[in-house]
């Protein structure tokens, strides 16, 4: 298993030099997030992830979770690691001080989340789901609910889940069967079965707070009749602590391809006591708070597994001797050259590096927008919220698809050794494979982007981003070293507007055009966004090189990787454009019964 090392230099480059988190923190009134404080948190977070979580990654995969008589036991060391995580205050880092949190910016919490997920993706599922549940309760719960649940979840004593999926339905939540019956005391009895519930049962916390979608007896049909309920595993007693067992039991855990140390549960609710969150029949709006949090977290998993894979691959490529360079021996004192001298190995490594560092920039750019949604300036809040609406499905889908590509390349760099479990590279592929599937498949994310966010807003959300890119390209059109890349990006940006207009017209005649184009449209947007972010990084890095300031090797690697991205990866947009323009005819022409032999 590759030994994880937090990429602090790259993180600080984005935080300090590209996005100026510190300036944003000051503007948003986050006075406690001083540069010294942020640096100390990064150092301590790296130490915890490298020394505590990373060593449990392979052993957790080998052992997996244990299920017996409705109880789940996590792999050896996980319970103790979670206790350290909670005691270190990591659960409450970016949480509301009113409920025991430290109140630091959400972007800083996301940076720590990257380290956790890179060191041990399975472990990261437990606090990740809890943070999402806390966000939903914080945004939509009553003050009594916040006091009862958020304080203990912030401490890490209680954890949380998101219970949406049922055996007969996944994304189509309008047909859920779980029922909630109102009681005289204002509570509800919840009955039904939920599946694929991450962290639904485990031994790491005193209580588990389930957020459950269910329908009231008189609920309207479809998604307009969904309500959200808090259903604790143990009912809070008079002192607010975990008391009597509620009517929710784990029926089984899934036997999965990856993230085996994360318990994925079937939960049976049998007359369990629940408490309404928000208004009746408005539960989907409440749950979207948690779902959007989870989608960003899932997108990060593509980056996290990709980073771990790259770290293993680059070390192996420098150590593994195989053949001689095509242009002559580079290490004549050795029996063969390290494989990093070979063009195809460099293609794989540079693709991994370009996607990882580009996706990290995308994640941090998005995290900064999350901070700005709490800005005292209403105009900035609205601008940030609009950009987030556009970027969220792209973050989830693009980062997980490219993250899976990166982990596959990492395994390929190892050759046959990559297929062997002891090296740890195949685990990263298995762990990453779920990310394009859950929290709404990437196909659903693409429909959300094109159908709801872009065409549903008549292009306004898309234009908010393309204007941002346009202004950047205008400002850097005459850049001495990078103007060629700027022109390339500007052209792809213009094409997106034209593609969107044509799609809107085609969709008015045939709605299948949206479904046929959506995945390619999302990927086109993803490559465009990474191009914009790579140019931002290259402009900063080139400026440092011109001024002869700082680590020249680091800044040169940024400029060179940007060149690779624009030469080798950004041109993929042309293929996606062609597929979009091909329309739906070739997809829908074959009759359903003609798929069979």
Where in the sequence numbering do the catalytic residues fall? Answer: 439
Closest CA to 275 of 188, 339, 198, 335: 188
- Which two three-digit tokens encode residue 210? 């389930």
211 forms beta bridges with 162, 230
- By the 10 Å C-beta count (0-12 exposed, 13-18 middle, 19+ buried), 478 is classed as exposed
Residue 84: other Cβ atoms inside 10 A: 13
Residue 377: other Cβ atoms inside 10 A: 12
- Whether the CB-CB separation of 223 and 283 falls below 8 Å is answered with no
Residues 210 and 495: their CA atoms lie apart, in Å, by 45
Residues 48 and 54: their CA atoms lie apart, in Å, by 9
- By the 10 Å C-beta count (0-12 exposed, 13-18 middle, 19+ buried), 182 is classed as middle
Q: Is the CA virtual torsion 60, 61, 66, 70 positive or negative?
A: positive
Phi, psi of 463 (to 5 degrees): -65, -30
Residue 101: other Cβ atoms inside 10 A: 22
- Which two three-digit tokens encode residue 513? 């055009």
Residues 389 and 460: their CA atoms lie apart, in Å, by 11
Closest CA to 158 of 227, 243, 77, 94: 243
- Which two three-digit tokens encode residue 240? 């607010």
Residues 91 and 571: their CA atoms lie apart, in Å, by 41
Closest CA to 81 of 121, 123, 44: 123
Residues 31 and 138: their CA atoms lie apart, in Å, by 22
276 forms beta bridges with 229
Token pair 């966004």 is found at 529
Strands of 147-298, DSSP E: 158-163, 179-182, 188-198, 207-214, 227-232, 234-236, 242-245, 248-253, 264-277
Q: Which 3 state secondary structure label does DSSP give 216? A: coil
Residues 95 and 284: their CA atoms lie apart, in Å, by 23
Closest CA to 230 of 173, 269, 203, 204: 269
> In sequence order, what DSSP letters do the residues of 111-123 get, joined into one string?
HHHHHHHHH-HHH
Q: Report the half-sphere exposure of 586 (CA within 13 A, side-chain side).
A: 6
Which one-letter DSSP state was computed for residue 478? T
267 forms beta bridges with 194, 250
Q: Which 3 state secondary structure label does DSSP give 265? A: strand
């Amino acid at each position: 298993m590759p030994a994880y090392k937090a990429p602090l230099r790259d993180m600080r480059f984005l935080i300090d030099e590209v996005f100026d988190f510190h300036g944003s923190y000051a503007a948003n009134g986050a006075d406690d997030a001083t540069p010294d404080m942020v640096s100390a948190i990064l150092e301590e977070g790296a130490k915890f992830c490298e020394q505590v979580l990373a060593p449990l990654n392979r052993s957790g995969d080998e052992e997996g979770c244990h299920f017996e008589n409705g109880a789940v036991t996590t792999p050896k060391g996980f319970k103790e690691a979670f206790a350290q995580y909670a005691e270190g205050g990591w659960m409450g880092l970016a949480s509301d001080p009113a409920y025991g949190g430290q109140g630091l910016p959400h972007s800083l919490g996301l940076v720590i989340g990257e380290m956790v997920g890179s060191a041990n993706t399975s472990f990261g599922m437990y606090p990740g789901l809890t943070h999402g549940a806390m966000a939903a309760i914080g945004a939509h719960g009553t003050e009594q609910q916040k006091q009862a649940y958020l304080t203990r979840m912030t401490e890490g004593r209680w954890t949380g889940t998101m219970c949406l999926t049922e055996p007969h339905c996944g994304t189509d939540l309008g047909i859920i069967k779980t029922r909630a019956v109102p009681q005289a005391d204002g509570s509800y009895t919840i009955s039904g079965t939920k599946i694929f519930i991450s962290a639904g049962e485990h031994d790491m916390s005193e209580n588990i707070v389930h957020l459950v979608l269910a329908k009231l007896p008189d609920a309207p049909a479809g998604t307009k009749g969904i309500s959200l309920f808090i259903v604790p595993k143990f009912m809070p007693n008079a002192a607010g602590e975990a008391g009597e067992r509620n009517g929710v039991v784990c029926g089984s855990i899934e036997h999965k391809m990856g993230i085996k140390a994360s318990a994925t549960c079937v939960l049976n609710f049998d007359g369990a006591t629940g408490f309404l969150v928000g208004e009746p029949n408005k539960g989907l709006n409440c749950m979207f708070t948690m779902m959007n949090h989870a989608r960003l977290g899932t997108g990060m998993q593509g980056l996290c597994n990709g980073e771990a894979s790259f770290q293993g691959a680059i070390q192996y490529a420098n150590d593994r001797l195989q053949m001689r360079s095509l242009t002559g021996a580079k290490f004549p004192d050795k029996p063969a050259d390290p494989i990093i001298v070979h063009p195809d190995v460099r293609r794989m490594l540079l693709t991994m590096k370009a996607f990882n560092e580009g996706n990290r920039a995308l994640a941090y750019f998005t995290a900064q927008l999350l901070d700005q949604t709490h800005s005292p300036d209403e105009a900035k809040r609205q601008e940030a919220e609009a950009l987030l609406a556009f970027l969220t499905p792209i973050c989830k889908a693009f980062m997980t698809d490219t993250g899976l590509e990166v982990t596959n390349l990492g395994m390929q760099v190892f050759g046959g050794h990559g297929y062997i479990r002891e090296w740890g590279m195949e685990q990263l592929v298995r762990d990453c494979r779920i990310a394009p599937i859950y929290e709404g498949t990437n196909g659903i994310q693409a429909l959300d982007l094109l159908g709801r966010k872009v065409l549903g807003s008549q292009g306004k959300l898309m234009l908010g981003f393309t204007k941002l890119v346009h202004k950047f390209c205008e400002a850097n059109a005459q850049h001495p070293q990078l103007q060629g890349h700027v022109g390339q990006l500007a052209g792809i940006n213009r094409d997106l507007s034209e593609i969107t207009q044509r799609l809107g017209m085609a969709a008015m005649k045939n709605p299948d055009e949206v479904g046929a184009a959506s995945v390619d449209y999302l990927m086109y947007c993803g490559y465009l966004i990474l191009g914009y972010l790579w140019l931002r990084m290259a402009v900063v890095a080139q400026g440092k090189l011109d001024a002869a300031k700082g680590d020249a090797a680091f800044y040169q690697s940024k400029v060179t990787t940007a060149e690779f991205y624009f030469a080798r990866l950004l041109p993929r947009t042309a293929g996606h454009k062609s597929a979009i323009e091909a329309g739906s005819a070739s997809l829908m022409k074959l009759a359903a019964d003609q798929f069979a032999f």
